[in-house]
Structures are given as structure tokens and as C-alpha cells.
Structure 1
Amino acid sequence: MDNKIATVALVQSKEDKAEDITDEQIKQLVQETVELAGGLGFIKDGQTVVVKPNIISTRAITGQAASMRMALPYADAYKDKSKLIPKEVNGITADYRVAQELTAMVREVNPTGKIYIMESSGDGATSKNLELMGYIKENFPNVDEIISLDDTGNAYRNVDAPDVVGVDPPANQEYKKLAKWMKNKYYFDKKYYESDVVISLCCLKNHMNAGFTGGIKNIGIGVMPQQIYRSFKNGSVVRGLTISHEFNDISHFIHDYYSLKPADFVLLDGLQGLAYGPAAQGAPSYAAAKMNMRVMMASKDVVANDTIAALIVGVDPHKVPYIKSLAKDGVGVTNLRKIVVKGNVRVDQIKKPFPFAKGVLSKVFRIPAGVAYDNYNPPKAKVKFINIADGKLNAKLEVGEEVIKVEIYNEQSGLVGVVSKDFSEISVDFEGNKGVLIVYDNLLNAQKIEF
């Protein structure tokens, strides 16, 4: 797959504040982004489609003490009502209005098939979280069932339950710490595993354990049946003792689990965007964690989408092990020379560092140096020669070694060419006499050259 070109759609709202984006504008954003990514025509009528939102929690777990508590068993996830987040543009969960429009679009191409929303929360009871965040049947007339994966399985750690499927590991299994009772298998909800199409509906966030969370992690951790993967029989949903959440370990598990049932499409809700991810852990306040990004992303290549989204939040995707290893396996593209971003905004125009927790949390949940990058400088590039004649643009650039590609845009028709080598001998078909060269480095920092 790495030899193919992947398309990632990136669309930003014209509103100044995420909270000001209307219901109708959200519908339009979803429609435009999905269509730019190639649309949902790959779904056939009669198929079973799972939409998997990110509903990890219903609270902003700010401050060091509260954040540490999330890593431990607790009796009542809803005790502190002041921490409850709004169900719209909260940054922590996928906005139900995005899911509404997405499922309406799925129903359009799949009038007779089944559509399920499935989720397995990391904090609290999934059914309660879904309800609080607007994922109720009244809001989803196009959906056949909203399913809490807390309910999969008929008993704690019963891997032989009739609605549980045990799957052998991928050939290149990376996670080496499965408990003996797991019998070296990875367990899925049967309806989920036997579905025809999976759409990952994720959020734009960094992550205190994995560095980054997007379309892949939303599946690779977020669809595990709680009866199988929770750490304690007493009903706690904490998975940290069943699956290690240390940086490399969690990436290895995500690689294995996601490989066995990859998503077919990703829609990313970046209406708000959240630092101190996944639930504002360690943020000085909830307001400080919200990043007001006002974007939507989509792709048929989930690895490519995660690659671009990671760069937007200040994380180097090539240093996130599960993104790197899935691309190496051919599950998707992470080579930036092979990814084209389409939309009304460039990555370099919106990307910025999303802070991680400091203090005790940063020592307990340690992200290796370099995963969060600090270089936002444009690459070096100078035009030595440029000429347009007889429908051709010929140019010579002198560039720094950090440059990986140059995109050529026509004033009228948009993108007309991408060059990823021989920058001193650029030649593309070109109509008119005005355009733009965008020069990128391997973090998609960019220099714009008008001609």
C-alpha cells in the first residue's frame, strides 16, 4: 500500500470559535470532508456497518491528583458533577452531531443494511457515557442499534462466551505480555468482528500514554470487550493492568489488535481539539486543554490520516511505534511523499504544539523525547529559475536537505503536480501564468513561494 498515493481531507470552519459552529455547518463540514476523501461509495447496500466513536469519558480529568485517579480503580466515575463536560464540541468525545450526519450518509448508500454504533469507554460505564454525550436512539434514526461493549460476554474473562470471538495473533505479533488465560488470542465482540465495514470516528488529541490518539487507537484499544479486558471482577473498567499502557507496550498491542480488523474509513472530529489527552489529564484547567481547531479530517487510509493528524498536534508520527509498524506492514501509508492533503487549509497553517501533562504525571506516563517535536521552522528553499511556456512550468530550486517534496498549484485549477526528488529540475504541465510552490519538510513545515 505504501506505493500508492493516499488522500487525506482536511477542512476548517470559517467560524472563529468552535462553539459558534452551527448544526447546519457541522453537516456541511462532514459532507465536504467525506466527499473530498473519496466518499462512501465503497459501502454496498445490505452490508453491516459499524461506526465506532471515541467516547472515552464524560469528564475533564484536570489537575495532577484527579488525573492520577484515572489510572486506578474507582467506585463512581460521575461523583464530581463539576467535571462533567458538555456533549457538544468538548474535544474529549466525538460530537454526536458529527455521528448523526455520518450515519445519515451511510444510510444513503446502504438503505437495507445494518448500522451499529459501538463503543467501549475507558472511564466509567459505556452505556451511561453514550447517553450523556447524546448517543441515544432518538438522535440516531438511521442507526439500528447503539451497543455498549461493556455488555459483550456473559461473565468476567469468559473467553468462550457466545458473543465473543477469539482471533489468533497477526504473523508479526508485537505484544508479548498477554496473560496466560488469554490463550495468545485477541478478543472481539462477534457483531463487530463479523461486520462488513468499520468506520473510526475519532477526535483530534494527543495522548499521555501513546503520544497520539486518532483513528487507529480508537479501534486498537477502544473496541475491546470489557468483560474480557477489564482489570477487576468488581466492575471496574480500568484496562491498565490487563494490557500494559507503557508507551511501547500499548503501541505493540494497538498494532496487533488493529491489524486483525482494520477500519475501512476514518472521520476525525477536530471541531475542538484537545491537549493533555485523552481526557485533559494534568491540564491546569479544562479551558487550557481545549485548542479551538475547528477542523474535520477524513480518509480511506487510516494510517495516512493519523500521520497528518499527529503532525497537526505536534507529534512526529514516525516516532509513534504503532503508526510506523502498521505502515511497514502495508496496512496504510505514512510516507509523506505519498500523502496528498486536500481541503481549504494546509497542515502548516494550523499545526501547533499540544501540551502534555508535566510533573508527576509526566514521570508516570513517560513519552520518549522527540515524540513531541519542537521544530516549526519553514524549510530552506530558494528559486534559482522559473519559467512558464507552451503549457509547461520549468523551475530550479535550491533547497535544504530537510525538504521532502514540493507541491505545485495553479491559480485556477489547484494542485497540478507533486515533486519529491530532483528539485533542481522541476517540470510539470501548467496552464496560465500564476501559481504557488509549497515546499515541505518531513514535519510538513512549509515555505510558500508565489510566482
Structure 2
Amino acid sequence: MSGGARPIVAIIKEESRPDASRIRGMVREAVDLLGGVGRFVGPGSHVVIKTNIFAPYPPPVSVDRHTTAAVVELCRAAGARRVTVVEGVSVGTKMGRGETTERVMRELGVRRAVEQAGGDIVCLDDTPRVRVEVPGGVVHHQLDYPEIVLRADVLVDLCAMKTHVNTLITMGIKNFHGLLTDEEKYYGHRDDLDVKLVDILRVRQPDLVIVDGLLAMEGDGAGEYGVPVPMNLIMAGDNVVATDAVGASVMGFDPLDVPAVRIAAHARMGPADLGDIEVRGRAVEEVRRRFQPPFNWFRPVDRFVTGSFENVHVFIGGACPWCWLMTALIGRQLGLTAPRQWSVIVGSDPKVPSRLPSEPKHTIVLGDCACAATGPVKELRNSLLIRREGLIAPGCPTFRPTLARLEEYLVEIGAVTAEMLEMKRLFIKQKCFDYYRKVDPTWEPEPVAEPAAGSRRGGAEGEESP
């Protein structure tokens, strides 16, 4: 990126967990290092804050409610007439966890914190949308974009600092995925996801980016299977690509290893080279910690697909990266059902033996490509359909409906029980809650009715972001 002033990214860090008052101070100090909130927010403006609260779990899965409230207060103090926090939980949260955005906002205490700070909340599930052109779009040429975001005087990107199985990290760029409709979110989770994320930025880039790195996440993020990392830092930036590049470096990753950062920089939306970015406050080297990447980023994904589970036999050929990842996630689940032997058939041209090592009822044909394959795979698929055995799981990507149908099928054949699946879900949720209570003893989930078990379709394994 050449010409003009360099983007600025500010880093504020504490040595121990800050309380709510200090979090407000950290947010203010970070924005002051960019030139002050008045550089972004004028009197009488309507500020929209896109937060990251895609699932019913507290930090590090979600942005801290104290950080959200601090940003609202800062904008109100600058004279904003209205400050609106927007979010739409992920497709996986709706299908796999039976949750709604409103319910998650209430349970995590976000709604109360925002309203006490002088803001309001708009859930993007049913908000009015405008069909907009995507200038220079590659994957998306048009999008159904939230009208409230499009019309905002100021757009703030308030994101978490996490690893992500699909995108390596999720920060400012990935956070805007939550602006899309459920259909656009879901069907974009393919190997062109990162190009799609950059397309979303082509409609409107944020004016201000704030990264909640108080309690970050490493490992198999961005959901409940990630590992908390107390970083005790807040970042702010005036360019989302530059902010993500600095954030990636803070996490110990080369920014160019983050596909969305690399693609956005190539599109001249901002720099990925830290030499083209002015970092203020703490230096990157002072705060850097090498995060553990997701399992599929530090080893080839086939390590977790072929020959990984004694009772799972995978026949794969001509498959895209997403189907490789989904097969790894499904293999984990099937591996727990040993000694039952399973055959999983994946890809556009999979080769299968004349006799499978599994019974027909323990055979899965995964994804649109395998379902459309010819030759022996077609004969096998037709046989399974006629006999009403096995699991035929089309989809591109083959994601949440596949996980949903798989769980239903495992219950149907007696491999697991619905009660076991529900106990697992509640155990994971309670574990996340108990951990965050220790981090922030002032937090308690607000009482809301648990979603009915029938409203959930599919487990949370392999969760995507919004």
C-alpha cells in the first residue's frame, strides 16, 4: 500500500485481568492513540457497532459485555444521538443449539450492559435489508445488506481475538460475516469463504475497529472447543485490514498466512505488511504470544481423515478442502461409536472396494459431489436408497444439515441416545459458564428458558462463525 498516511493500530495491555472501570479506560486510551473518538464520531451521529456474539457462550467465544458497554459509552460521550449494537447469531447457533440472537444477548448480559450504557440493540435475524451491489465482487455481486448498517453515520467493528478452523483467525474482517442473511452465511462456508469475506468489505468498510483481546482464544476456535488465552489487551485501528494484520502478528501468525488478510491487501483495502502500519502504544513484540492454531492448520487435514479412527474407513477422491474438514469432524463423532465399523464416501470421484468394511446401515455418502458420483458409487447410493439404509447427506457445503441428520441417524440406529447428546450440550455450556465466572466473578448468566430440545438440529461440533 503506497501513498498517503499509514493506517494506525493502537495496542493497550494490562498485566492482569482489568475490571470494568479499567476496561473503559483501555478502550478510551486505544481510541485516543488514533486521534480520539471525535475523529470518528460527531455530535448527533448514529453509530452502529457490529459486535461478535455468535453463540450462547461468554468470553472468549463472545466479546466481553464490559468492552461492548465501554464502546457505547465512549460514542455517547462524543455526542452520538444514538448508538446501536447489532448482531445475528450463527446458523449453527440456531440449528445446532436452538438459540436466537435475542436470547443469547439476554443470557450473556449483553442487552442489559448496552442499555445501561445508553445504547440499544438490534438483532439482525429479521431486520430490514436492502439489496446492494458489491463493487468488484468476486463471489458476491449483490448482497441483502442490513439497512441499519448501510445507513449508519459511523460503523464500528467490535470483534474478538480468536483462532478459527476455517479462516485461521477471526477478527475484524471475519466479524462482518455476521451481517449476512442465514442463507448467505451458510452457503458461503466453502473453499472460497475468504474471497467472500473480502467481498463483504467492498460494500462498506468499518470506520473504527476495536479488538477485544482481554480473553482471547487459541486452538479449535471460534466456538466452545477453543482454548482461552488471557491476553488482557485492547486494540483499536482505523483500517480493518491493518488491524487484522497486527492482530495476527500479536497471535504469532504471519499476516500473509491469514487468507482474508492477504486477499484484502491484494485488493488494496489495506496493508498486510507491518512496515506499512503505524503501531502505537505497546509494540507488537512486547505483547506477542504464539497461539496454538486450529488442528487443521498445523497439520495436513488428511492426518485426521484417512487412517485416523480404527472403526472409520474413508473413501475420498476429488474432494474440496471443506469436505476434507467435514469428514474429519464427522470422523471424530463416528470414532466414539466403536466397535461399529463405518464407511464414509466423499468427493467427486471416490474409489470404493467391491465390498465395504461396514454394514449398509453404517455407510455415509457425504456431499453433493459424492451423491452425484457415477459408477460403483452410484450403484451403492441407489442400493442404500432402495433399502432405506445408511445416510445420504447432500449439500455444498455439507455442514449443519449433515451434522443434524447424522445425530438423528445415530439416535435412530441406537448408536447414541438423544439424552446423551443433550447432556453433552449442557455439560459444554456449563463448563464455559464456570470458567468465565472465575475470570469475572461479577458475571452471572441471566435466567432465560432453555430452548426446547426439539428446536436443535445437529450438534455444535465444527462450528462456524457468524
Q: What TM-score, normalized to structure 2?
A: 0.59
Contact preservation (8 Å) 2:159, 2:212: yes
Q: How does 1:220-369 map to 2 (within 5 A)?
A: 221-226=177-182, 229=184, 239-240=185-186, 242-246=187-191, 249-280=192-223, 282-283=225-226, 289-347=227-285, 349-357=287-295
- Structure 2 vs 1, CA of residues 290 and 307 (structure 1 numbering), >3 Å: closer, same or farther? same
Secondary structure in structure 2 of the residue aligned to 1:291: strand
2:11 match: secondary structure: strand
Letter in 1 for 2:121: I
Quick one: distance in 2 between partners of 1:166 and 1:278?
32
Task: From the superposition, tell whether residues 279 and 48 of structure 1 become closer, same or farther in structure 2 (CA, over 3 Å).
Answer: same
Shift in CA distance, 349/200, structure 1 to aligned 2, threshold 3 Å: closer
Give per-residue Cα distances to partners, 1:40-72, cap 9 Å, x unaligned.
11221122210111102124xxxxxxxxxxxxx
**1:324 deviation in Å?**
2.1
8 Å CA contact retained: 1:7, 1:340: yes
**Cα distance in 2 for residues equivalent to 1:2 and 1:275:** 33
Q: 1:121 aligns with which of 84, 89, 106?
A: 89
Q: CA RMSD in A?
A: 2.4
CA distance in 1, matches of 2:55, 2:279: 31
Counterparts of 1:156-235 in structure 2, within 5 Å, are 163-171=128-136, 173-175=137-139, 184-219=141-176, 221-226=177-182, 229=184
How much has 1:36 moved relative to structure 2? 1.4
Contact 1:53 / 1:119 at 8 angstroms: preserved in 2?
yes
Q: Deviations over 1:279-315 (max 9, x none)?
A: 34655xxxxx011111110011111110010112233
Deviation of the 1:114 alpha carbon: 2.1
Q: Structure 1 residues 168 and 347, CA, compared in 2 at 3 Å: closer, same or farther?
A: same
Query: Are residues 1:149 and 2:117 paired?
Result: no
- Name the CA distance, whole Å, in 1 between partners of 2:225 and 2:20: 31
Instruction: Give 1:26's match in structure 2, choosing from 23, 44, 51.
Output: 23
Letter in 2 for 1:217: K
What amino acid is aligned across from residue 193 of structure 1 in structure 2? L
CA distance in 2, matches of 1:294, 1:121: 25
Distance 1:279 1:104, change over 3 A: same
User: Helix, strand or coil: the match of 1:333?
Assistant: coil
Identity %: 24
- CA apart distance, 1:326: 2.1
Give runs of aligned pairs for residues 52-131 of structure 1, distance below 5 A: 52-59=50-57, 87=58, 90-111=59-80, 113-122=81-90, 123=93, 124-131=99-106
2:33 to 36, 42, 45: 36
Structure 1 residues 280 and 244, CA, compared in 2 at 3 Å: closer, same or farther?
Answer: closer
Cα gap change, 1:255 to 1:295, in 2 (>3 Å): same
CA distance in 1, matches of 2:119, 2:25: 24
Change (3 A) 1:137 1:165: same
- Tell me whether 1:135 sits opposite 2:107 in the alignment: no
Give distance in 2, aligned partners of 1:267 and 1:7.
Answer: 12
Deviation, structure 1 residue 5? 1.4
| Matched residue type, 1:168 | E
The answer (yes or no) to whether the contact 2:114–2:121 under 8 Å persists in 1 is no
Match of 1:47 among 41, 45, 59: 45
SS of residue in 2 equivalent to 1:103: helix
Hey, what's the Cα distance between the residues in 1 that align with 2:46 and 2:225? 39
Residues 38 and 347 (structure 1), Cα distance of their counterparts in 2 relative to 1, 3 Å cut: farther
Could you list the runs of 5+ residues in structure 1 that have no partner in the other structure? 60-86, 153-162, 179-183, 230-238, 284-288, 368-451
Measured after TM superposition, the shift of residue 96 of structure 1 is 0.9
Structure 1 residue 348: deviation in Å? Answer: 5.1
Can you list the C-alpha shifts for 1:109-157, whole angstroms capped at 9, x where unaligned? Answer: 124x2211100111231111111222214642444520111122xxxxx
Shift of 1:25: 1.6
8 Å Cα contact 2:249-2:288 kept in structure 1: no
The one-letter amino acid paired with 1:50 is V
State the one-letter code of the partner of 2:24: K
Tell me which amino acid in the other structure corresponds to 1:109. Answer: A
Q: CA deviation at 1:245?
A: 3.4
Give TM-score scaled by structure 1 length.
0.61
Task: Say whether the 8 Å CA contact 2:86–2:124 is kept in structure 1.
Answer: yes
Contact 2:84–2:121 under 8 Å retained in 1: yes
Q: Is the 8 A contact 1:137 1:146 kept in 2?
A: no
> Contact 2:252–2:288 at 8 Å: present in 1 too?
no
CA distance in 2, matches of 1:107, 1:216: 25
Amino acid at match of 1:117: V
Q: How many residues align?
A: 296
Give me the whole-angstrom Cα distance separating, in 1, the residues matched to 2:149 and 2:105. Answer: 17
SS for the counterpart of 2:49 is: strand
Does structure 2 conserve the Cα–Cα contact (< 8 Å) formed by 1:255 and 1:322? yes
The residue aligned with 1:385 is none
Q: Structure 2: which 5+ residue stretches go unaligned?
A: 94-98, 306-320, 326-466
Q: Do the aligned partners of residues 11 and 318 (structure 1) sit closer, same or farther apart at CA in structure 2, a change above 3 Å counting?
A: same
Which structure: greater helix fraction? 2
Aligned to 1:45, the other structure's residue is in SS state coil
SS of the residue aligned with 1:294?
A: strand
Do the aligned partners of 2:55 and 2:223 also contact (CA within 8 Å) in 1?
no
Evaluate the alpha carbon distance shift between residue 320 and residue 138 of structure 1 in structure 2; reply closer, same or farther with a 3 A threshold. closer
C-alpha distance in 1, partners of 2:172/2:304?
24
As a proportion of its length, which structure holds more strand? 1
